[in-house]
Structure 1
Amino acid sequence: MARIVVIGAGLGAMAAAARLAVAGHRVTVYESGATYGGGVRRLTRDGFGFDTGPGLLHLPAVYRDLFVKTGKQPLEECVTLTQVDPASRHVFADGTRADLPNASRAGTAAALDAALGAGAGARWGDFLVRAREAWDRTRRPLLEEPQAADVTPLNRDPYPALKAGLLRRPTTTLAQVADRELRDPRLVALLGSYAWGYGFDPADAPASAAVLPYLEQTFGTWYVDGGIRALADAVYERCVQRRVEFVFDAEVTDVVEEAGRATGVRLADGRTVPADHVVAGAPVPALYREGIVGPGLPASRPETWPRHQPVRTGRVTLCLALRGARESGAVHRTVVHAAAALPTVTVLRPGDPALRPDDAHESVTVTATTEILPSWTAFAERMLTQAEAAVPDLRDRLLWQEVRTPDDTLLETGAAEVPGPALAGDKGRWLPAANVSPLPGLYFAGGWSHPGGGLAHAGMSGALVAGLIVEGADFRGSQ
């Protein structure tokens, strides 16, 4: 039985902890804050509840697998999952609206034809066929297997973009794919919104980011009753059932290294905790900033540090407490696309009784990703203006609002930025840190490590780290 220390109590770290405990190891999680969940938080006030991190779940199979592998109770006995249908309503800058069904290729094509005109659905469908090729080519190396020591095969973009012009120039970014293949500015905006949801600028993101809408529109969108925080509660409870020990308000300040490998951690109170393996669930950039990288990763040799994506955007969330009941015909998620200087925002209206004081009120969250700004007041006001297209009489119904910014994310997780899923192409620039660090005995889990950000991807990182520790270098990923 090995002694394993986990730094941080995010979803990826807890997923690793539960799996390692089931394998017979003694696992202790040290969390610098007062609670678990990482970026999956809950704001409550006056009977209203709000998810301040992700509000929806994709690929629930990742957490179904976690619960199957770590106990007798399956996921559906611990939380209630509901398919969101329509998956999203899109309000475009010209006022056009389109409701896209959940996980229905034919239904999506019909909805786009009805809203945008004949042929729009076929163009989007043809694009998704090519996106599927990129998904099939990268699914295992980017999601189900540990990151290979040689990542050069992933440097080339797997998206089979259409070529045009006399010189048959290839497309290299998602924005180029949109302009060349979709043409309609509303379809261009639709594709771009999937990238912006993770903080990826379509003008910079590789063409392989086409897998993001493919993943959602193929595998569906799900809501966890009570909010996504309920999923974090369930994972935490599963860890406790498996006798994982949690120590809160315990900041790790260093990874102890002896004889060229990680042998424990040092806490802010001066204590040293020995370990046979250390799993760092804290964001990789935070490890750089705080110096929790040990002598095995010296500042004089930055080329030895694990990579992380060039993401410089953060999530802003407005938590809105509204008087009045949710109107008939309201949908769970509305994406209001940018017009002029206004941001593209996502408005979530769960209609969940657990998140409101009574049926005469409603809780709504409005989110946007943007570059890190020195002040958020004006940006939050522009977000509220955008949200009026999704919520009738919004300002008249508004009782109060709280604004959550990347400054709050930094305090809660150690990084202000929002990590996104691993993407192939662009010379490997969009690949996150490998789960195995350059310092033997130190592993990375969570959104800043392979296979990247998002609830499902973080859960996968926990499975990969557990497999690497339990099975060693021979581990080849899920089967």
Structure 2
Amino acid sequence: MSRIVIVGAGVGGLAAAVRLQALGHRVTVFEKSDTVGGKLGVLEHDGFVFDTGPSLVTMPQVLEELFADTGPPLSDSLTLRRLPIAARYRFPDGAQLDMPGDITEIPAALDAALGRGRGAQWSQFLTRAERIWDVTHQPFLESPISMRDMLVGAVLRPADVAALAPWRTLRALGRHCFDDPRLVMLLDRYATYTGSDPRHAPGALAAVPWAEQRWGSWYVEGGLGMIAVALRDRLVALGGTLALGCEVTEISTRADGHVDGVVAADGSRHRADIVVANADAAQVYGRLIRTTPARRAARALRRTTPSLSGFVLLLAVDDPPAGQPHHQILFPSDYDAEFDAVFGRGGAPRPVDDPTVYICAADDPAVVPGAGTAAWFVLVNAPRHDPGGGTDWDTEGLADHYADRILQIMAERGVDVRNRIRHRIVLTPAELSRRTLTPGGSIYGTSSNGPRAAFLRPANASDVPGLYLVGGSSHPGGGLPLVMLSARIVADLIGPS
């Protein structure tokens, strides 16, 4: 029986802990916060319950598999509800699309909202996206293998490479497939699922909308934070140990460079045969461990482009407007200007003056204090917190001023709740950075900007012997399903006790 320490109780760390405990290891999870979930955070205020991180479940089979592999089925712990409308999109010309949650209904909805023939174009695109999914999901998303291994090891056939077209960006793919700029804009948005710029992110990200539409969009009753609670309960039921309010300040090593445990903020040492880090890779290699391989990894990460961050409004709304969908996206007139601002093109990274606005308005009595109220999560893409070279989100007055600007934009685009707000809570990239120890609040660690960037994330098996990485900043990437796949890869690499 190996002693395994997991640093961080985010979804990746908890999922890895559950799998490893079920495999017979003795697992202890250290978490600096007093709650579990990491970026899958929850904030409660005056009877309102807000998810402060992910607000959408895709590929629910990954979550179901995690529970089935480690004990009783998911349905014993959580109730998932499929959304009939995946999202409402409002385009700059005022056109509105209610994207069905059923993939078979999407072509007709596109034709009705955007004009005849748009559904056929999207269907043709999805056929190509499915091919990309078929090529990548097993050897890449579900394995520790890298794109270099796929190419050098001849895992990919010439026809596979042609389907992936790694030289083509997501924006270029959209322009190749669509003659309607609104469809290009719709596809562009999926680059933000990895914190990236569609003009630089690889076309392989086309697999993301295919997977989302193939398996649907889902909500967890009580809020997505319940996923972390269910994983915590599963870990405890299996006999694992969870130490909350215990920050790890160092991953220690033996003389031969192999990890041998962790050091907590109070100076206590905890021995381990294996350490799994569910922390941002830049923090792991730049702060927690001090070995030559770690320094090399830290240098490599400094050469990458950090992912974008997010500026969040949590709105306690009285008498919310009728007919609001669960998810709503309000596009700007100039999407390129948004990415220029966030990634610092044409100047330093800066708040977007006219951003895309994402609204999550869950219809769930469990997250509000009573009838006639709603808990809204509002998100816009934002540059990370970087006082030295970009945006200092702690600048006095900036957060409140920008929050007012977002509410004004919502009103201009048809969703005015300014006179209905009981409470407004603002979370900036600076606050995200402090809450999750993520440098600058970069949600996904590194972006996928560049033809190979999506395949060059830090590996799950570190070059530091005995150290593994799990979570959104490591392979295969961010988002709930990929983070849980990351945990499965780590558990498979370590193996049973």
Q: What TM-score do you get using the length of structure 1 for normalisation?
A: 0.89
The structure where helix makes up a greater share of residues is 2
- Total equivalences in the alignment: 460
**Does the 8 A contact of 2:257 with 2:465 survive in 1?**
yes
The alpha carbon displacement at 1:309 in A equals 6.1
CA distance in 2, matches of 1:161, 1:284: 27
Structure 1 counterpart of 2:207: 211
Structure 2 counterpart of 1:26: 26
Structure 1 counterpart of 2:466: 441
Structure 2 counterpart of 1:122: 120
The alpha carbon displacement at 1:223 in A equals 0.1
| 1:76 and 2:75 matched | yes
Structure 2 counterpart of 1:477: none
Structure 1 counterpart of 2:129: 131
CA distance in 1, matches of 2:233, 2:186: 38
CA distance in 2, matches of 1:317, 1:349: 14
Deviations 1:239-284 (A, max 9, x none): 1111111112222122211123111112222222111111011110
CA distance in 1, matches of 2:164, 2:50: 40
The alpha carbon displacement at 1:288 in A equals 3.4
Q: What is the one-letter code of the residue matched to 2:312?
A: T
CA distance in 2, matches of 1:359, 1:391: 23
Structure 1 counterpart of 2:338: none
Residue 266 of structure 1 aligns to a residue whose secondary structure is strand
Deviations 1:421-443 (A, max 9, x none): 99798235543211100011100
Question: Cα 1:435–1:306, aligned 2, differ >3 Å: closer, same or farther?
Answer: farther
Structure 1 counterpart of 2:271: 274
CA distance in 2, matches of 1:459, 1:303: 24
| 1:333 and 2:327 matched | yes
Structure 1 counterpart of 2:2: 2
Question: Cα 1:286–1:421, aligned 2, differ >3 Å: closer, same or farther?
Answer: closer
Structure 1 counterpart of 2:91: 92
Q: What is the one-letter code of the residue matched to 1:160?
A: A
**Does the 8 A contact of 2:6 with 2:17 survive in 1?**
yes
Question: Cα 1:302–1:242, aligned 2, differ >3 Å: closer, same or farther?
Answer: closer
Of 302, 308, 320, which residue of structure 2 is paired with 1:313?
308
**Does the 8 A contact of 1:451 with 1:458 survive in 2?**
yes
Structure 1 counterpart of 2:231: 235
**Does the 8 A contact of 2:310 with 2:380 survive in 1?**
yes
Deviations 1:53-96 (A, max 9, x none): 0011011111111111111x211121110001111110001110
Of 434, 448, 465, which residue of structure 2 is paired with 1:411?
434
Deviations 1:184-221 (A, max 9, x none): 12111111112224321101111111111111111111
Structure 1 counterpart of 2:62: 62
| 1:193 and 2:218 matched | no
Structure 2 counterpart of 1:427: 452
CA distance in 1, matches of 2:106, 2:412: 22
Structure 2 counterpart of 1:36: 36
Seq. identity, %: 37
Structure 1 counterpart of 2:285: 288
Question: Cα 1:380–1:198, aligned 2, differ >3 Å: closer, same or farther?
Answer: farther
Q: What is the one-letter code of the residue matched to 2:491?
A: A
Deviations 1:392-414 (A, max 9, x none): 44112122211112222212221
CA distance in 1, matches of 2:495, 2:436: 27
Q: What is the one-letter code of the residue matched to 1:404?
A: L
Q: Does 412-421 or 447-456 show the bigger shift?
A: 412-421
Question: Cα 1:433–1:90, aligned 2, differ >3 Å: closer, same or farther?
Answer: same
The alpha carbon displacement at 1:113 in A equals 0.7
**Does the 8 A contact of 1:13 with 1:280 survive in 2?**
yes
Structure 2 counterpart of 1:356: 368
**Does the 8 A contact of 2:80 with 2:218 survive in 1?**
yes
CA distance in 1, matches of 2:447, 2:141: 8
Q: What is the one-letter code of the residue matched to 2:425?
A: E
Residue 410 of structure 1 aligns to a residue whose secondary structure is helix
Question: Cα 1:188–1:385, aligned 2, differ >3 Å: closer, same or farther?
Answer: farther
Question: Cα 1:424–1:460, aligned 2, differ >3 Å: closer, same or farther?
Answer: farther
Structure 2 counterpart of 1:450: 475
**Does the 8 A contact of 1:422 with 1:450 survive in 2?**
no
The alpha carbon displacement at 1:385 in A equals 2.8
| 1:182 and 2:170 matched | no
Structure 2 counterpart of 1:46: 46
| 1:323 and 2:314 matched | no
Of 385, 389, 394, which residue of structure 1 is paired with 2:408?
385
Question: Cα 1:343–1:428, aligned 2, differ >3 Å: closer, same or farther?
Answer: closer
The alpha carbon displacement at 1:321 in A equals 0.9
Structure 1 counterpart of 2:349: none
Structure 1 counterpart of 2:487: 462
**Does the 8 A contact of 1:421 with 1:457 survive in 2?**
no
CA distance in 1, matches of 2:291, 2:281: 16
CA distance in 2, matches of 1:92, 1:392: 14
Q: What TM-score do you get using the length of structure 2 for normalisation?
A: 0.86
Residue 151 of structure 1 aligns to a residue whose secondary structure is helix
CA distance in 2, matches of 1:10, 1:244: 15
Structure 1 counterpart of 2:139: 141
CA distance in 2, matches of 1:298, 1:456: 27
CA distance in 1, matches of 2:446, 2:239: 30
Runs of 5+ unmatched residues, structure 2 = 335-352, 385-390, 394-398
**Does the 8 A contact of 1:307 with 1:433 survive in 2?**
no
Runs of 5+ unmatched residues, structure 1 = 163-169, 473-479
Residue 37 of structure 2 aligns to a residue whose secondary structure is coil
The alpha carbon displacement at 1:344 in A equals 0.8
